[in-house]
Amino acid sequence: MNVFQRNNFCGGYPGQFGEGMGFFQQFGFPPEVKFFFPGGSHNGGHSSLEENSILLRGIHETRLINRIYGFYDDLNKRFGTPRLYEDFTKMFEMMPLTGLVGKRILCMHGGLSADLVNAPKLDILNTFARPLHDPPNPSLAIDILWADPDINTKGFKANIRGCSCTFGPDVVAQTCDKFGLDLIVRAHQVVQDGYEFFANRRLVTLFSAPHYCGQFDNAAAVMQVNPNMVCSFKILRPEFPGRAAPSHQKSATTILLPPTIT
């Protein structure tokens, strides 16, 4: 588990390099402004190789997903050899799976795990040996990469993805209370407004690829955390010529930790 102090948090935007550059143009460029990505920032787009970000490991930083969703083929096409793919894989296997901000915000790509809830201390997240190959199912690591929140789940249930689990609001509350957390930040799912709260605003899903893969009309969101641990969300919406924005769309939102809408 790495401890981060970052200004801007983005969800996954697999391979959408133009959108990544748009974030930098709007919010500032590193190193003057800091960005943090909870995994899933390559693969699946036309510009999967140009990313230069601070990353946690997500499902797209695994060998299996990279062979399926284009990263392996992209590297072979550009460089004519699988050797660079193997080097990337070795790098991914050394990446952290979770980050802790100010001891109050826990970040990962996927979600929570029964192994974490039952652990005596949050330090269990520091026990992963490196290199960490694609983790087995079930395991703590696979849940961190793949688990999903589900309002209709109590405790944990099998995930319809066929991998890992879903977890309910009760699990989020139990995890936050046990480890003194205010907020859990994760990516892994497309959400319409770029961010979506769960479990009485104690978990938020971030997604930062607007108009994802050219198939969705979703917005993107960036979460900003200031030195006083005040979180705000900036929404970037795709523009569709001739189409008016729905009146119910969210505008920018600010929350205080412990989470309270202001």
pLDDT for 42 beyond 60: no
What is residue 16's predicted lDDT score, i.e. its pLDDT?
A: 55
What is residue 162's predicted lDDT score, i.e. its pLDDT?
A: 93
**What six digits make up the tokens of 176?**
């936050």
What integer is the mean pLDDT of 77-94?
A: 93
> Parallel, antiparallel, or unpaired: how do β-strands 156-158 and 231-236 relate?
unpaired
| 216 band by pLDDT with thresholds 50, 70 and 90 | confident
What is residue 54's predicted lDDT score, i.e. its pLDDT?
A: 63
Ranked by mean pLDDT, the top range of 5-9, 40-44, 183-187 is 183-187
What is residue 45's predicted lDDT score, i.e. its pLDDT?
A: 47
**How many other CB atoms sit within 10 Å of the CB of residue 242?**
4
**How many other CB atoms sit within 10 Å of the CB of residue 234?**
18
The span from the CA of 33 to the CA of 165, in Å, is 35
The span from the CA of 84 to the CA of 176, in Å, is 40
What is residue 89's predicted lDDT score, i.e. its pLDDT?
A: 94
How do residues 166-205 score in pLDDT, each as one tens digit?
999 999 999 999 999 999 999 999 999 999 999 999 999 9
What is residue 23's predicted lDDT score, i.e. its pLDDT?
A: 64
| Beta partners for residue 99, in sequence order | 2, 107
**How many other CB atoms sit within 10 Å of the CB of residue 39?**
29
Comparing 105-119, 128-142, 171-185, 222-236, the range with the smallest average pLDDT is 222-236
pLDDT for 53 beyond 80: no
What integer is the mean pLDDT of 239-244?
A: 61
pLDDT for 215 beyond 60: yes
| 41 band by pLDDT with thresholds 50, 70 and 90 | low
pLDDT for 247 beyond 60: no
**Alpha carbon distance, N-terminus to C-terminus of the chain:** 31
H or E segment and range at residue 143: helix 140-146
How do residues 28-37 score in pLDDT, each as one tens digit?
666 666 777 7
Q: Which residue has the tokens 């995890």?
A: 175
Q: Which domains does the chain have, with CATH numbers?
A: 3-256 (3.60.21.10)
pLDDT for 120 beyond 90: yes
pLDDT for 82 beyond 60: yes
Q: Which residue has the tokens 């688990």?
A: 147
pLDDT for 40 beyond 80: no
Whether the upstream peptide bond of residue 14 has omega within 30° of 0, thus cis, is no
What integer is the mean pLDDT of 135-147?
A: 97
What is residue 4's predicted lDDT score, i.e. its pLDDT?
A: 53
Which residues have a catalytic role annotated? 60
DSSP label of 175: H
What integer is the mean pLDDT of 148-153?
A: 98
The span from the CA of 176 to the CA of 236, in Å, is 29
